[in-house]
Amino acid sequence: MSRSDISDNALKVLYRLHNNGFQAYLVGGCVRDILLGKEPKDFDVTTDATPEQVKELFRNCRLIGRRFRLAHVVFGREIIEVATFRGHHPNQDEEAKDNLSKQSDHGQLLRDNVFGSIEEDAERRDFTVNAMYYNIADFSIHDFAKGMQAIEKREISMIGDPATRYREDPVRMLRAVRFAVKLGMKISPDTANPMYELAPLMANIPSARLFEEVLKLLLSGQGLETYKLLNEFNLFEQLFPQLGPLLKTQNSRELAFIEQVLMNTDNRINSDMKVTPAFIFAALLWYPLEERCQQHMVEGGLNHFDAFNLALSDVLHRQIQRIMIPKRFTITVREIWQLQQRLPKRYGRRAFQMLEHPKFRAAYDFLLIRGQIEGGELLTLAQWWTDFQNVDPEERQGMLQALREKEGGGAPKRRSRYRGKKKAAQ
């Protein structure tokens, strides 16, 4: 490894820790990526200094986390994460006394602030490729878990007993999938086999934590491949329980729709175009929304408008129980869905007003994919909006006139409010 491959800010943190008598190592993904010839997205540091000692050394440091206490050293937009060497957990009787560690009845770590040596820290890491340490003192790499061997074999392998490690933190199953896709590696059989049985443990993970994990999985530029591997291990259904049952049938419209959306998203990300998580969530929950709407209409006798709005709130509420989608995204999800109901209504000024709607483009893209998958009138409607955007204003008026003639004169005239009030007064 060359120091030219390391962020200047990460070097500042490493040298300040080292010069103040502490051990300081780069660890995890940044070391792995440099050895693989990739450019790291972030740099993580580990040390024998406690979080409080790190904070004393850096004015630009903030301490975060309860379950897993960390120091973040902030340099503008770049954050260098500094973690203290983790140690092994004591038995349950000792846990109750020290208040530094705690496990659930399922074996999940609820609190993890037991500090130890670098050797213990390496044993606490998740995968062998993430247990390599770069020492700033002598520029050596310490490989405690045969990480280099795993890189040569192109294999993701768990450190320790996989089933136990998954029970400690079920998110490791998601990380195994993400690393396998990101690095172009396979998951070793010993690491993969317990995932089929333990996938339901994802229900124990706080919904706020899963939101960030889902963004890493589906907005990586390899979302489609990641989704397929999640499905293979029954993990996708744990993240989106309302959608899972709809994807069981091969060649279904639901399956084709999700794959097309993820493919389009990958293409946009890999072309350095903007994407919003709201579009992904709107797509993943669209068919559960349609199904729920039909249930309200059949069971409750509601009209489509009321059933749709009731279903919209139901579906989002249920999903937020599993993945805490921030309000700034759920608002956009709602708008994309509601505009699907308004896009067929094009008479008068409505078509022109729709073009000016701030979420029109997202709603149109959504409609276009639906049309490509479902065909029929939906595809015709999507093509109409495609043409309407690309012609000049005079031709737009002609398109609206042709639409009115085709559909029998257009929308019914509204009754004058003024005349109605005058008649009532008389």
Which CATH number characterizes residue 55's domain? 3.30.460.10
- Residue 354 domain-assigned (yes or no): no
Q: Is 355's pLDDT higher than 50?
A: yes
The amino acid at residue 179 is F
Q: Is 158's pLDDT higher than 70?
A: yes
Q: Is 109's pLDDT higher than 70?
A: no
| Minimum mean pLDDT range among 25-34, 112-121, 134-143 | 112-121
Tell me the DSSP string of 244-311.
GGGGSSTT-HHHHHHHHHHHHHHHHHHTT----HHHHHHHHTHHHHHHHHHHHHHHH---HHHHHHHH
Question: What does each C-alpha distance from 61 to 58, 69, 206 come to in angstroms?
Answer: 5, 13, 26
Of 224, 244, 257, which Cα lies nearest the Cα of 370?
257
Q: Which pLDDT score is estimated for 416?
A: 52
Q: How far apart are the first and last CA of the chain?
A: 91
Label residue 73 by pLDDT band (50, 70, 90). Answer: very high
pTM of the model: 0.84
Q: Which pLDDT score is estimated for 110?
A: 46
**What average pLDDT score do residues 411-421 get?**
53
Instruction: List all residues 6 or more positions away from 356 whose beta carbon is below 8 Å from its beta carbon.
Output: none
Provide the number of structural domains found in the chain: 1
- Residue 10 domain-assigned (yes or no): yes
Please list the alpha-helical segments (H only) found in 36-170.
51-57, 92-98, 118-124, 147-153, 162-168
- Residue 204 domain-assigned (yes or no): no
Q: Is 290's pLDDT higher than 90?
A: yes
Structural domain including 129 reads 1-153
Q: Indicate left, alpha or beta for 180 from its phi (over 0: left) and psi (-120 to 50: alpha).
A: alpha
- Residue 59 domain-assigned (yes or no): yes
Q: Is 68's pLDDT higher than 80?
A: no
- Residue 423 domain-assigned (yes or no): no
Q: Is 107's pLDDT higher than 70?
A: no
**What average pLDDT score do residues 63-81 get?**
89
**What average pLDDT score do residues 352-372 get?**
94
Distance CA 13, CA 27 (A): 13
Paired tokens of 357: 């709607």
282 close to 333: Cβ distance less than 8 angstroms: yes
- Residue 421 domain-assigned (yes or no): no
Distance CA 354, CA 339 (A): 9
Label residue 95 by pLDDT band (50, 70, 90). Answer: very low
Percentage of the chain surpassing pLDDT 90? 75
Catalytic residues: 42, 44, 126
Paired tokens of 174: 């998601």
- Residue 92 domain-assigned (yes or no): yes
φ and ψ at 7, to 5 degrees?
-55, 140
Tell me the DSSP string of 307-351.
HHHHHHHHHHHHHHHHS---HHHHHHHHHHHHHHHHTT--TTTHH
Strands 70-75 and 140-143, how do they pair? Answer: unpaired
Percentage of the chain surpassing pLDDT 70? 89
Label residue 408 by pLDDT band (50, 70, 90). Answer: low
- Residue 425 domain-assigned (yes or no): no
Q: Which pLDDT score is estimated for 409?
A: 53
**What average pLDDT score do residues 292-314 get?**
94
| Minimum mean pLDDT range among 132-141, 309-318, 387-396 | 387-396
Q: Which pLDDT score is estimated for 65?
A: 81
**What average pLDDT score do residues 22-33 get?**
94
58 close to 52: Cβ distance less than 8 angstroms: no
Q: Which pLDDT score is estimated for 97?
A: 41
